[in-house]
Structure 1
Amino acid sequence: MRNVAALGLVVFLAACGADGEPVTPTMNSHIGVTSDGVYGSTTIGIHDGPISITIGASNGCYRCW
């Protein structure tokens, strides 16, 4: 949990411009509906030249039967 919080702090500081010019963060969300249930995932990241930091999460399957 501490690693996630530290990485989130780095992403926040880079996005707000504390270390230079602000970098706009990106966010991608995907939701899929199948006969087995609903799937979802979210990815948040920042990209600046050769450096890229991405955090992703997937909620798996909701109401799978």
Structure 2
Amino acid sequence: MKRILLALITTAGLTACGADGEPIRPTAGVGVSVGTGGVSVGGSVGAKSGPVTVGVGL
């Protein structure tokens, strides 16, 4: 799972260089939840360009 997350962050970083047009800004988020079932960790990565946002939640 760490490899997938690292690959997605790397890809988002490379696409943010803006070689062709306006740069795409990478986005990322991490969440921790505590409940009766225990502690769970989640995260998301994505990219934003103008009004359009694309993301993947893990």
TM-score calculated relative to the size of structure 2 = 0.58
| In structure 2, C-alpha distance between the alignment counterparts of 1:56 and 1:50, rounded to whole Å | 19
One-letter identity of the residue aligned with 1:19: D
Q: CA RMSD in A?
A: 2.3
What is the deviation of 1:38? 0.8
| In structure 1, C-alpha distance between the alignment counterparts of 2:23 and 2:49, rounded to whole Å | 10
Could you tell me which runs of 5 or more consecutive residues in structure 2 were left unpaired when the two chains were aligned: none
What is the deviation of 1:19? 2.2
One-letter identity of the residue aligned with 1:15: A
| In structure 2, C-alpha distance between the alignment counterparts of 1:29 and 1:54, rounded to whole Å | 13
Identity %: 36
What is the deviation of 1:42? 0.5
**Moved beyond 6 Å, runs of 4+:** none
Which residue of structure 2 aligns with residue 33 of structure 1? 34
Which residue of structure 1 aligns with residue 21 of structure 2? 20
Deviations 1:6-39 (A, max 9, x none): xx44x34431222223333111111011232111
Which residue of structure 2 aligns with residue 62 of structure 1? none
